[in-house]
Amino acid sequence: MKMSYYLAVFLMLLLSISCAASTLVETKFKACLLTQLHSNSEFIEENIFTSFSSLYPQVLESLEQNPRWLNSSRKPLLILTPFHESEIQATIQCSKELGLQLRVRSGGHDYEGLSYLSNAPFVMVDLINIRSIEINLSDETAWVQAGATLGELYYKISKASEVHGFPAGTCPSVGIGGHISGGGAGTMLRKHGLASDHVVDAYLIDANGRIHDRESMGEDVFWAIRGGSATSFGVILSWKIRLVRVPPIVTGFNIHRTLEEGASKLIHRWQHIAHELHEDLFIRVIAQNSGDKSKTFQATFNSLFLGGIQKLIPLMNESFPELGLQAKDCTEMSWIQSIMFIDGHNKEDPLELLLNRTTSYKSSFKAKSDFVQEPIPIAGLEGVWNKLLGEETLAMLIMEPYGGRMNEILESETPFPHRKGTLYIIQYLVKWEVNSIEASKRHLNWAKMVYRYMTPYVSKSPRAAYFNYKDLDLGKNKHDNTSYSEASVWGEKYFKGNFRKLAQIKTKFDPQNFFRNEQSIPLLNSHHN
């Protein structure tokens, strides 16, 4: 009895010491900011949230798109919501002075929560107020601040022009800052490549608080941030992007097939042709279970065609007649309506839905990814369907075809190397509602099991993965000076032969490794002490 009393007192003492220590750090940080910002106390009063602030949980959780980490203890000491670049510069300076790490969040979609979680004491900069978008139709470009979402960008483009668009992701609430810095793939990648392939300039704050454009950062750093993890090099303020032309009418369709209706044969056939179709035609496959005990399987052929029905039907009859597409299955619409359509809305729904910064429906999830270079045999596909049917909660494979423009861009042209020779990418996704430790472990194990099963059928040496579908199972930097060779375990999966060049650029541009996280680009010469 006495022992447990002393233990309780000891734990309370420890807790009060750690609280006092964190309060001291917060006080010092605020004092440092006051000095840096020349006594601008208004910013500190209204835009800094400590763990004791009543608004702290709301600000932290509002853009946490994966509830899996809601109960994590690895939360920021302070959250800052700056309006101006000078406030970010001051935050960098004060973080360095106090030995704190910095995390930056633009949309909160980071698959492993790295933009708002850390094992080390850290401050988080939330870019929610840095999100202006300026469209310039005279030279078909736009400046987009890093805190804007894809939905906000698409909406703004559509208000300026009916014949312009941008080739980026399908989820409107994703933040621009991180999306482009990892590549940025969407329904127009076969026609136009990735979002990062269309960046023509950028503003980046380095570890010394200096703001760079393309010219002052140099072509090496400009190369690195377009697909090679911009957070390893600095804080992206904004991207200058080149818009693309889109036709006034595009067409979408969703064709659903069960196993009894021949889904396996259709997907097997899809593997052989999807990457070779006309570049205006993108057909992805979403293979999923029912997410309940009914143990049913459905494959959806979800498509965007950059043109009208009259052109699409003959094209499909020639290249993929097995799907049996008819005009009644198709929906003609504008490009901006197709963004809504692909996101699961009706084309008549108000476009203002694109401005919603949070996902309409949040559930805990885990994702992994693979690239496929040879068609998977039917037996291999049927094996993975069985794994889907064996999972008790919603699980799916999202398979998106490459080819077209993706084949024409060299592996070394940007850090994103998964180009020619890739038939399609697979994202394995499992979602769950009950956020207990036991349930989470069960679903995470399911994801690992499916990933192991797929080993013979996917890319090898390295078994590649997509950086925007971040996956800490692939390996992580365990400490500040993780060696290059340790980091290359995961780095070469994401970046293949480009990983070494990224580390060389990192070493030169951020030699103190200030910008770091569990999967940041390491210093080339880092070693254990």
Q: Annotated catalytic sites, by residue?
A: 469
Judge contact between 381 and 460, C-beta under 8 A. no
Cis amide leading into 462 (omega within 30):
yes
CA 13 to mean position of chain CA atoms: 41
CA R_g for the chain: 24
* The pair of three-digit structure tokens given for residue 40, joined into one six-digit string: 């601008």
In the numeric block, which tokens belong to residue 496?
Answer: 């293949």
Sign of the dihedral through C-alpha 289, 284, 406, 178 = negative
Residue 253's DSSP bridge partners are: 303, 330
What is 137-180 written as a DSSP string?
Answer: TTTTEEEEETT-BHHHHHHHHHHH-SSEE----S-TTSBHHHHH
Task: Give Cα separations from 433 to 71, 82, 110, 365 (angstroms).
Answer: 14, 33, 19, 9
Tally the residues of the chain: 529
Q: Which residue has the tokens 């950086």?
A: 467
For residue 70, how many C-alpha atoms fall within 13 Å in the half-sphere facing its CB? 19
Q: Are 492 and 462 in contact (CB under 8 A)?
A: yes
Two tokens at 64? 């946490």
Cα-Cα-Cα-Cα torsion 225, 228, 233, 238, nearest 10 degrees, comes to 30
* Beta pairing partners, 288: 298, 396
Dmax (CA) for the chain in angstroms is 83
Rounded Cα gap, residues 107 and 403, in angstroms: 29
Nearby residues of 418 by Cβ (< 8 Å), 6 or more positions away: 371, 402, 425, 464, 466, 496
Nearest Cα residue to 411 out of 426, 401, 399, 421: 421
